[in-house]
Amino acid sequence: MRCRRSNYRSAMHYQRGAALVVAMLIFALAAALVVAMQSEFDRFFQRSAHLLADEQLQAYLRAGEELAAIVLLRDYDDDKQERRFEEKLDEIWNRPETRQPFPIEGVGWFQGELEDLQGRFNLNQLVRRRENDEPGANNRFTPAQKQFIRLLQALEEPAVSQQDAIAITESISDWLDEDEETSRAGAEDAYYVGRTPAYRAGNRLMSSVSELRAVANMTPAIYRALSPWVTALPGTAQLNVFTAPPMVLRTLNADNDLSPLSMDDAITLRESGFEDINGLLNHPVFSDRKDRMAEIKPTLGRNSNYFLLTARVEVAGKQMRLYSVLERRNRTVSAVARARGSPCPEATSGPRTGENTVEKFCAIPL
């Protein structure tokens, strides 16, 4: 009897020990599951918080775009009331108070500014060629091509010679036109298919300034120096002489002169002002050449339809930027291109640039 009782007690002790081990294993497993679930919950919570913040930032930026549209419409109404359809730098869209940061109560701030894109040189004007390429000084270039040759030579760093400026200009013209006929110093498919990687000429108007990086004779240094002064708009968009900065005004000179206007003369033009295009061409700066500036006049305008909105917003310590190209036609304003992030990323997306929407705003933008 004593033996049976002893065996029974031993079995009970063994079962209790096994139950304790199982309980400890279950507890350990449950603890591991809780830790894993907590970690996954934290990641889910962070992702949700980031998505919510991103949506908030985008909502404020979209509101900023609507506000910019209202400002442009107000400017249109003011011009219509005054019967003066022209854009100048002293108008409501360019006043300092419109560029001041607006506080977003309790969460952050918003800031936006508008720039007249027609105050830059329009690259798509280079698609045109002279029909008669007769021998003679500068006869082979259109007025727009002459302007661009002057703009390239006006760059300070790196310095661009007139010969290199002509090669770049004709390469861009070949890139834009639809044929395979190569200009004297230009390049077509025969040049581009020999590069690594191989690609073809665009043979269409540029949709992005960043396409310049794929054009023959263009270097990264020249692109960086040139990009703030150029844009890629429909080919009919003229240069607005009232909003063009001195650097772009240096593209104006006598028809037979490919050298740029001096910076001092360009600053004088901007600071002294002029009433219209005839007043510009008759300015004392051009007194010795005004009778030789007939060709350039059709490329100049005083109205603008395209504006670049640069908007910034910060909410809860997180920032976001929006670059939006706004087209104004009568009393309608529409966004024709948008991008978030840096206006001029250094990385390229291959020869067919312009497919990356951020790159659309390189050279701020377009």
Q: Is residue 29 part of a domain?
A: yes
Whether residue 166 is found in the same domain as residue 243: yes
Q: Is residue 358 part of a domain?
A: no
Look at 3 and 307; give whichever has higher pLDDT: 307
Q: Is residue 134 part of a domain?
A: yes
Q: Mean pLDDT, the chain, as a whole number?
A: 84
**β-bridge pairing 300-301 and 239-240:** parallel
Whether residue 202 is found in the same domain as residue 157: yes
Domain that holds residue 232: 120-304
What CA–CA distances, in Å, run from 3 to 6, 7, 11, 99, 210?
Answer: 5, 6, 12, 97, 95
Quote the CA–CA distance of 45 and 338 in Å, as a whole number. Answer: 30
How many domains in the chain? 3
Q: Read off φ and ψ for residue 188, nearest 5 degrees.
A: -125, -160
Q: Is residue 67 part of a domain?
A: yes
Whether residue 12 is found in the same domain as residue 149: no
Whether residue 146 is found in the same domain as residue 91: no
Whether residue 276 is found in the same domain as residue 289: yes
Q: Is residue 365 part of a domain?
A: no
Look at 182 and 42; give whichever has higher pLDDT: 182
Whether residue 195 is found in the same domain as residue 284: yes
> What's the DSSP call for residue 291?
G
pLDDT tens digits, 92-144: 999 988 888 888 887 889 999 999 999 999 999 999 776 555 555 557 899 99
Whether residue 186 is found in the same domain as residue 282: yes
CATH number at residue 178: 1.10.40.60
Give me the mean pLDDT over the 277-299 stretch: 92
Burial zone of 85 (CB within 10 Å; 0-12 exposed, 13-18 middle, 19+ buried)? exposed
Quote the CA–CA distance of 349 and 356 in Å, as a whole number. Answer: 7
Tokens 């030579």: give the residue: 153
Which range, of 9-18, 134-143, 278-287, 303-312, averages the lowest pLDDT?
Answer: 9-18
Tokens read off for 307: 């504006």
Whether residue 324 is found in the same domain as residue 211: no
- Given a cut of 70, whether residue 350 has pLDDT beyond it is no
Whether residue 290 is found in the same domain as residue 154: yes
Q: Is residue 345 part of a domain?
A: no
Quote the CA–CA distance of 366 and 364 in Å, as a whole number. Answer: 6
pLDDT tens digits, 14-53: 566 677 777 778 877 777 777 777 766 667 657 766 778 7
Look at 76 and 140; give whichever has higher pLDDT: 76
Q: Is residue 65 part of a domain?
A: yes
- Given a cut of 70, whether residue 167 has pLDDT beyond it is yes
Which residues are 300's β-sheet partners?
239
Whether residue 220 is found in the same domain as residue 309: no
Whether residue 239 is found in the same domain as residue 143: yes
Cis peptide before 197 (omega within 30 of 0): yes
Q: Is residue 41 part of a domain?
A: no
CB 176 within 8 A of CB 216: no
CB 110 within 8 A of CB 99: no
Whether residue 136 is found in the same domain as residue 278: yes
Tokens read off for 342: 């840096």
Tokens 């581009």: give the residue: 192
Q: What's the sign of the alpha-carbon dihedral 61, 65, 67, 71? A: positive
Q: What is the CA radius of gyration of the chain?
A: 32
